[in-house]
């Protein structure tokens, strides 16, 4: 039986992929860099910002990457400073599942960024544990999942990772953990299928039903 559910945040629980794309492209313009295509930015959602910047701007050095991180953070606060938008049905899903197992987050966001959005939705105490990319290794490295397993004293087979990117699913596979992919986020279905999740869900109610079965 699954004893811990671990969720990604952006693109899985929060409908933020387009905000991320817009703010990254604006930040590139602010730094006088070539503005990446939307598809290029979509592909790096879920990575830590340092890793994402190296991927998007491989010909630039550390100083430019740091400037981009600062510019992106400023744009995200300015452009996405309103109430965070959860996908419809997510709040009810988590409320139901929380009655059966602890819930955790494994996210590419920074701690500061995560605390800000959790505060916006009134969820600062919603999750039993969280891991952020600026505190551990970036996805798809499995370190953040291994840290969560250690915290709850569980084996990989006793936890399940839910995410919208190949980074989430590949991270779970590297940790020996089962995973579920969702198709409403950053990565296309055909990409997610290559990472071999136990199921791909196309709607939140479908995900809720599957997770209900896995924890009861």
Burial of 178 per CB tally in 10 Å (0-12, 13-18, 19+): buried
pLDDT at 81: 53
How many beta carbons lie within 10 A of that of residue 133, not counting itself? 25
79-82 contacts, C-beta under 8 A, 24 or more apart: 79/19, 79/22, 79/23, 79/26, 80/16, 80/19, 80/23
Within the chain, what is the greatest distance between any pair of CA atoms? 53
CATH top-level class of 4-15+85-215: alpha beta
**Tokens standing for residue 157:** 């087979």
Q: Report the C-alpha gap between 109 and 114 in whole angstroms.
A: 6
Q: 129 and 152 in contact (C-beta within 8 Å)?
A: yes
Q: Which residues pair with 130 in a beta bridge?
A: 105
pLDDT at 154: 98
Domain spans, the chain: 4-15+85-215, 17-79
Residues in Cβ contact with 48 at an 8 Å cutoff, skipping those fewer than 6 apart: 108, 133, 134, 138, 139
Side-chain-facing half-sphere of 142: CA atoms under 13 Å = 17
Q: What are the E-state strand segments in 33-154?
A: 103-107, 129-132
Instruction: Summarize pLDDT for 65-122 with one digit per residue, the tens.
Output: 999 999 999 998 887 555 568 999 999 999 999 999 999 999 999 999 899 889 988 9
pLDDT of residue 80: 56
pLDDT for residue 88: 96
Torsion of CA 20, 24, 25, 26, to 10 degrees: 100
pLDDT of res. 124 = 93
Those residues of the chain that have pLDDT short of 70 are: 80-84
pLDDT of 1 reads: 87
The pLDDT, as a whole number, for residue 120 is 86
Assigned token pair, 138: 């970036």
Of all residues in the chain, the percent with pLDDT exceeding 70 is 98
Report the top-level CATH class of 17-79: mainly alpha
For CA atoms 175, 149, 46, 180, give the dihedral sign: positive
- Write the CA distances from 15 to 7, 48, 185, 188, integer angstroms: 14, 18, 8, 15
């Amino acid at each position: 039986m699954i004893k811990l559910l671990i969720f990604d945040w952006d693109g899985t629980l929060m409908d933020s992929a387009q905000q991320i794309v817009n703010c990254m492209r604006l930040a590139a313009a602010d730094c006088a860099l070539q503005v990446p295509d939307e598809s290029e930015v979509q592909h790096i959602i879920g990575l830590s910002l340092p890793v994402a910047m190296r991927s998007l701007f491989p010909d630039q050095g550390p100083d430019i990457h740091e400037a981009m991180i600062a510019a992106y953070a400023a744009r995200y606060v300015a452009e996405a400073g309103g109430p965070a938008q959860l996908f419809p049905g997510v709040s009810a899903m988590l409320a139901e599942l929380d009655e059966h197992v602890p819930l955790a987050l494994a996210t590419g966001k920074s701690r500061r960024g995560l605390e800000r959005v959790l505060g916006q939705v009134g969820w600062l105490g919603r999750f039993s544990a969280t891991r952020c990319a600026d505190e551990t290794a970036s996805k798809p490295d499995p370190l953040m999942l291994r840290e969560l397993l250690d915290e709850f004293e569980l084996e990989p087979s006793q936890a399940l990772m839910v995410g919208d990117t190949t980074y989430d699913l590949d991270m779970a596979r590297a940790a020996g953990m089962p995973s579920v992919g969702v198709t409403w986020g950053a990565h296309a279905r055909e990409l997610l299928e290559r990472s071999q999740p136990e199921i791909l869900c196309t709607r939140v109610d479908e995900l809720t039903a599957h997770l209900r079965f896995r924890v009861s």
